[in-house]
Amino acid sequence: MSTTHEHSLALEQGENSKFEVLEIAVRELAISRGLFSAEDHRRFTEWSEQVGPAGGSRLVAKAWVDPEFKARLLANGIEACKEVGIDWAQPTGHGAPSDYTWFYVLENTPQVHHVIVCTLCSCYPRPVLGMSPSWYRTVNYRRRIVRWPREVLSEFGLYLPPEVEIRVHDSNAKSRFMVMPMRPKGTEGWSEEQLAAIVTRDTMIGVALPSADWTATQPPSQGAS
C-alpha cells in the first residue's frame, strides 16, 4: 500500500476551484484599478445573498387573487415584477444579481406541472427567488431531473399521476423561469399576505406543491404529516 499522499479528483475542503481563483484574481484587479472597493464588493455580496424567495411568493399570491395582474405577469414577467417592487435591472443597471434577458412565469394547471433546471450551470431567477438552493446547482439534480423527472420529484416527496404532463424547462439561454403553482384547497378567503406565506421556494422551482398547512417560515412539526 502506498504511503504517499494521493490527491483525489474531488476538491479538498477549503481548496479553491479554478473559477474561484479566477473570481478572486478579477476582483483584486478591479479593486486595485479602483473600479470598486472591497467594501463595495462585500456590501453587494451581503445584499445579494439575503435576497430570498419572498418576491416570488408575493408575485404568485397577487396573481392568485387578481386575475388581471396574473394576465400581466404571464404576458411580461419583467414589467409585472415592478408592481411588487422588484426591478430586474437594479442595482447594476443590466440585470441583477446575474445577467438575464427575459423572465417567464410558468403556470401550473391540472394538466401540466412545470419544473425548472439549468443543466449547463445554475441559471435561476435570482431577483425573485434569491440564491438557488445548493441541491439545485448539483450535477446530480441537473443531469437527473431532465431524464428521470418523476423519479427525482418522488425523492422530494412529490408524486404526480401519469395523466399529468411533467414539463421540464432547461434554462439554457437568456430566459429565466419561475413556476406559478396552483392555489391549494383550504385557502378560500385568505389574504394576499397569508397566501404568500405558503408559496415556498420549492413550489416555485416545481419540486413541491403548496399546502394550506405548510409555510417554510415555521419549523416543521415532528412525524409524518
Of 93-112, which residues contact other proteins (CB under 8 A)? 101-102
Contact predicate 50/43, CB 8 Å: no
Question: According to CB under 8 A, which residues from 206 to 225 bind other proteins?
Answer: none
Choose, by CB under 8 A, the member of 23, 147, 154, 191 that binds other proteins.
147
- Is 2 annotated as catalytic? no
The residue among 67 and 162 lying less far from other proteins, judged by its C-beta, is 162
Q: Rule CB under 8 A: choose which of 93, 162, 219, 223 binds other proteins.
A: 162
Near other proteins by CB under 8 A: residue from 70, 169, 176, 183: 169
Distance from C-alpha of 148 to C-alpha of 123, rounded to nearest angstrom? 20
Q: How many residues bind to other proteins according to rule CB under 8 A?
A: 22
**Which of 99, 94, 92 is closest to 35 using CA atoms?**
92
Distance CA 163, CA 110 (A): 9
Q: Is 118 in the active site?
A: yes
DSSP 137: G
Give me the least distance between CB of 149 and other proteins, in Å please.
Answer: 7
Q: What is 16-37 written as a DSSP string?
A: PPHHHHHHHHHHHHHHHTTSS-
To the query of whether residue 81 is one of the catalytic residues in this protein, the response is: no
C-alpha cell at 32: 486595485
Look up residue 93 and give its DSSP letter: S
Indicate the SS3 state at residue 102.
strand
- Which CB sits closer to other proteins, 44 or 104? 104
Please give the residues from 42 up to 101 whose contact with other proteins meets the rule CB under 8 A: 101
- Considering the complex, state which of residue 64 and residue 177 has its C-beta at the smaller distance from other proteins: 177
> Is 123 a catalytic site residue?
yes
Say how many C-beta atoms besides its own lie within 10 A of residue 204's C-beta: 27
The rounded distance, in Å, linking the Cα atoms of 57 and 60 is 5
182 near other proteins, rule: CB under 8 A: no
Q: Choose between 169 and 183: whose C-beta lies nearer to other proteins.
A: 169
Q: How far is the CB of 124 from other proteins (least distance, A)?
A: 16
Q: Does 175 bind other proteins (CB under 8 A)?
A: yes
End-to-end CA distance of the chain: 51
Residue with cell 392555489: 183
Q: Which C-beta is closer to other proteins: that of 161 or that of 223?
A: 161
Three-state DSSP state, 107? strand
Q: Which of 122, 132, 175, 211 is catalytic?
A: 122
Active-site residues, by number, are 118, 121-123
**Interface with other proteins (CB under 8 A):** 101-102, 119-120, 146-147, 149-150, 162-175
